[in-house]
Amino acid sequence: MPEIMVNNIHKSFGAMQVLKGTSLSVKSGEVVALIGRSGSGKSTMLRCINGLETIDSGSITVAGHTLDGNPKHLRALRTDVGIVFQSYNLFPHLTVGENIMLAPSIVKKVKRTEARKAAEEALKLVGLSEKFDAYPDMLSGGQQQRVAIARSLAMQPRVMLFDEVTSALDPELTQEVLTVMETLARKGMTMVLVTHEMGFARRVANTTVFMHQGKIWETGPSQDLFANPKTPEMRQFLSADVK
């Protein structure tokens, strides 16, 4: 069974229909990139997959959890699904290590020694082992974003969602974060990412999904999709990105 099953979902905000019958299937270990213009529904779909937005119709199953509006089921889903946003949302009064240990301690009720070990392993994975006792304001934006990724990894999720995680960073710091995400992909993490980094999507994502006007307009293996877009909308989107 796929790790993520999105089946014919619709979502509106007031009179504005944002998702219009969207379906997506993601296998375990697969990396899927969602691309498209602003307002095409990419981030909304990602937020629906994590239950941050409720859908109007359709169904979503992630890591064996079905989103059905039950708060208990939603909490269970979020122990298996990590999400990272463009804003790092680190607690400024806590050290890096404490930021990462917080969720495993509170949500999974793990002992402090276990939480610390998980935090240290996650920091090592994002290349920031030496920053355990630092405070967020002592770090660069790229480092803070890598800590935000480590915070999700410490929960040992089955699925990771990334929503425009590099859009607030300059090119050098962007590369830092993309390198971490590439490492996760190589380790077999199931990932869905909304990104404007076309080169990264082409190189790292197994599948790229082009969204347009609230629908999945075109989808396929990343290399094929970028080399030979089938629709004029996708061709226009890619040519605008090159300029």
Per residue in 126-166, pLDDT (tens digit) is: 999 999 999 999 999 999 999 999 999 999 999 999 999 99
Asked whether the whole model's pTM tops 0.75, one would answer yes
Q: What's the pLDDT at 241?
A: 65
Superfamily of domain 26-242: P-loop containing nucleotide triphosphate hydrolases (3.40.50.300)
- Percent of residues, the chain, with pLDDT higher than 70: 99
Average pLDDT of the chain to the nearest whole number: 93
Whether 8 has a pLDDT exceeding 80, the answer reads yes
Question: Residue ranges per domain, the chain?
Answer: 26-242
What is the 3-state secondary structure of the chain? CCCEEEEEEEEEECCEEEEEEEEEEECCCCEEEEECCCCCCHHHHHHHHCCCCCCCEEEEEECCEECCCCHHHHHHHHHHEEEECCCCCCCCCCCHHHHHHHHHHHCCCCCHHHHHHHHHHHHHHCCCHHHCCCCHHHCCHHHHHHHHHHHHHCCCCCEEEEECCCCCCCHHHHHHHHHHHHHHHHCCCEEEEECCCHHHHHHHCCEEEEEECCEEEEEEEHHHHHHCCCCHHHHHHHHHHHC
Per residue in 79-126, pLDDT (tens digit) is: 999 999 988 889 999 999 999 999 999 888 889 999 999 999 999 999
